Amino acid sequence: MSGTGFWSATRLVAQREVEATVRNRSFWITFGIFVVGLLAAAIIPGLFDGDSAPTVATVGPEASRAVAATDLEARPVATVDEANALVRAGDVSAAVVSDSGSATGVRVVALTDTPYEIVAALAETPPVDLLTPGALDQTVVSLVSYFFALVFFAFSMLGLTIAQSVVVEKQTRIVEILASTVPVRALLAGKIAAHSLLVFAQVGILALIAPLALRAGGQGVLLAMVAPALGWYVPFFILGFVLLASMWAVAGAVVSRVEDLGSSSTLVMMFVMLPYLAVTFLQDSDRAMLILSYVPFTAAVAMPVRMFAGDPRAWEPFVSLVVLAATVVVFVLGAARLYSGSLLQTGARVRLRRAWAGASTPAA
Give tens-digit pLDDT for 63-114.
888 888 888 888 999 998 998 999 888 888 889 999 888 888 899 998 877 7
Strand partners, 74: 56
pLDDT of residue 134: 54
Is residue 146's pLDDT more than 50? Answer: yes
Position 204, amino acid: G
Is residue 362's pLDDT more than 50? Answer: no
Confidence band of 115 (pLDDT split at 50, 70, 90) = confident
Is residue 233's pLDDT more than 60? Answer: yes
Give tens-digit pLDDT for 182-195.
888 888 999 999 99
Which range is least confidently modeled, 37-41, 136-140, 175-179, 293-297?
Answer: 136-140
Is residue 248's pLDDT more than 90? Answer: yes
Among 273, 275, 270, CA closest to 289 = 275
Which range is least confidently modeled, 44-48, 67-71, 201-205, 355-359?
Answer: 44-48
**Mean pLDDT of the region 313-322:** 91
pLDDT of residue 286: 85
Q: Could you write out the DSSP letters of every residue in 31-84? A: HHHHHHHHHHHHHHHHHT--SPPPEEEEESHHHHHHHHTSSPEEEE-S-HHHHH
Q: Could you write out the DSSP letters of every residue in 169-204? A: HHHTTHHHHHHHHS-HHHHHHHHHHHHHHHHHHHHH
d(CA 1, CA 308): 50
pLDDT of residue 363: 40
Confidence band of 177 (pLDDT split at 50, 70, 90) = confident
Specify the pTM: 0.74
d(CA 104, CA 98): 9
- CB contact at 8 A, 11 and 187: no
pLDDT of residue 292: 92
Question: In this structure, which long-range contacts are made by residues 199-206, counting pairs with CB atoms below 8 Å and at least 24 apart in sequence?
Answer: 199/155, 199/158, 199/241, 200/238, 200/241, 202/31, 202/34, 202/155, 203/151, 203/155, 203/237, 205/35, 206/34, 206/35, 206/38
pLDDT of residue 51: 52
pLDDT of residue 185: 87
Position 326, amino acid: A
